[in-house]
Amino acid sequence: MTPQQAINQQHNHVGLIGLGPMGIALAGALLKQGHSLTVWNRTPEKADDLVSRGAHRAGSAAEAVAASPVTFVCLDNYDTLYRVLDATGTALDGRTLVNLTSGTPNEARAALAWSTERGIDYLDGAIMVPPPLVGEPEAVILYSGRQGAFDEHQKTLRSVGGDPRYLGADVGLAVLYNTALLEMMYATMNGWLHAAALLDSANVSARQFAELALGWFMPAVVDYASLADQAPDLDAAHYPGALGTLEMNLNALQHITRTSEEQGVFSDQPRWMQQIAEQAVAAGHGSQNYLAIYELFKKARP
C-alpha cells in the first residue's frame, strides 16, 4: 500500500488542533456526526470531556495530524499556528489542512505557501457563527483555496457547519469576506448604539427606542432604500443626484454632530462620518448621491 492509499483509508477520521471555545465546539460537532476524531491541545485536560465522548487524545500535534487525511486547526493566531505546526515535521505531507484560525488575507496566503512547500493541501476558512451554532444546519463557514480540496472534504466540512460556502481559488477570500461582514456588523451596531445614546440623553430608554429604530427604521433602510438593488450602481460607479445629493447628506451629517454636542453625548462617531462626506465632496462628488462615498472608500487615503 502506498502512503497516499494509507491516508485515503482513514476516510472518516478527522484531526483537530486547538481546543479553545471554538475548537471544543468544532470537536463536539464532529463527534455528533460520527467522525473518528483525534484532538491535540497545548493544555491536554481541555480534551477530557471530549475523550469521555469518544475522541482520541493525541500525545503530540504530529500524532494528531497523522491519524487523519484532514485536520482542522483553530488556534488564537498565526504565530501559534506556525509554532504548533512546525513541530509536526513531515506528518502533514499528502494530507489536507483546514485552517479556521482568524487572520488577514496575507496571513492566509503565507500559510498556503508554507503548506504547498511541504506537500500539504491547504484550505482557508472563516467561521461566521459563535460556538453554540457550530454544526447547526444554518451555520455558515466561508472557505477559499483549491476547489478540489473543498469538494473532496465537503462532507466533513458540512459536519462543522451545515452551510459551507466556497468563495474562490484566491485563498485570502474567506477571511476578506469575513472581515468585510464583521465591519458591516460593527458599523451597524455602532449606528444603533450611538442613536440609542442620543435618545438616552432625553431619558428615552433603549427598549422604547427599539420599537421604531429596529422594528421599522432598520428594515426600511435595508428594504425601501433597496441596498441590494443599488449594488449594480456601485459596480457601475453610477451615482445620479437627482433625488438627493451628497451635499444635502453632508448637511444631515452636520446636524447629527451638532445635535450630539448639544445633547452632551459622544460626538466623534457622527463627526467622523461627516468628515468622510466632506472628503468625498472635496473630491468632486458633491452633486452625486450618497453612494458616491464608495469611490472614496475604494482607495487608500492619499
Ligand X SMILES: NC(=O)c1ccc[n+]([C@@H]2O[C@H](COP(=O)([O-])OP(=O)(O)OC[C@H]3O[C@@H](n4cnc5c(N)ncnc54)[C@H](OP(=O)(O)O)[C@@H]3O)[C@@H](O)[C@H]2O)c1
- Map residues 52-91 to x or -, x wherever contact with ligand X holds by CB under 6 A: ----------------------xxx---x--xx-------
Q: What's the min distance (Å) between Cβ of 95 and ligand X?
A: 20
CB of 19 to ligand X, least distance (A): 5
Of 14, 16, 19, 281, the one binding ligand X (CB under 6 A) is 19
Contact flag: residue 269 with ligand X (CB under 6 A): no
**If residue 277 lies in a helix (H) or strand (E), which one and from where to where?**
helix 268-280
Determine the Cα–Cα distance for residues 239 and 228; give it in Å rounded to an integer: 15
Does 141 engage in binding with ligand X (CB under 6 A)?
A: no
Residues near 20 by Cβ (< 8 Å), separated by ≥ 6?
Answer: 74, 75, 76
Q: Of 72, 116, 75, nearest to 93 (Cα)?
A: 116
Task: Identify which of residues 36 and 80 has a Cβ nearer to ligand X in the complex.
Answer: 80
Long-range contact set of residues 265-273: C-beta below 8 Å, sequence gap at least 24: 265/194, 265/197, 265/198, 265/200, 265/201, 266/194, 266/197, 269/190, 269/194, 270/194
Contact 6/32 with Cβ under 8 angstroms? Answer: no
- For 35, other C-beta atoms within 10 Å of its C-beta total 24
Q: Which span sits near ligand X by CB under 6 A: 20-28, 137-145, 217-225, 246-254?
A: 20-28
Segment 109-128, which members bind ligand X (CB under 6 A)?
127
Q: How far is the CB of 74 from ligand X (least distance, A)?
A: 5
Cell numbers at 12, concatenated: 472518516
Which residue's C-beta sits nearest to ligand X?
Answer: 20
**134, amino acid identity:** V
> Roughly how many angstroms between the first and final C-alpha of the chain, as a whole number?
60
The x, y and z cell numbers of residue 60, run together, are 503530540
Binding mask 40-59 for ligand X (x = CB under 6 A): -xxx--x-------------
Identify the residue among 6, 12, 21, 32 touching ligand X (CB under 6 A).
Answer: 21
- Closer to ligand X by CB, 140 or 206: give it: 140
If one asks whether residue 162 binds ligand X (CB under 6 A), the answer comes out as no
Minimum CB–partner distance for residue 157 and ligand X (Å): 15
Sites of contact with ligand X (CB under 6 A): 18-23, 41-43, 46, 74-76, 80, 83-84, 100-102, 127, 130-131
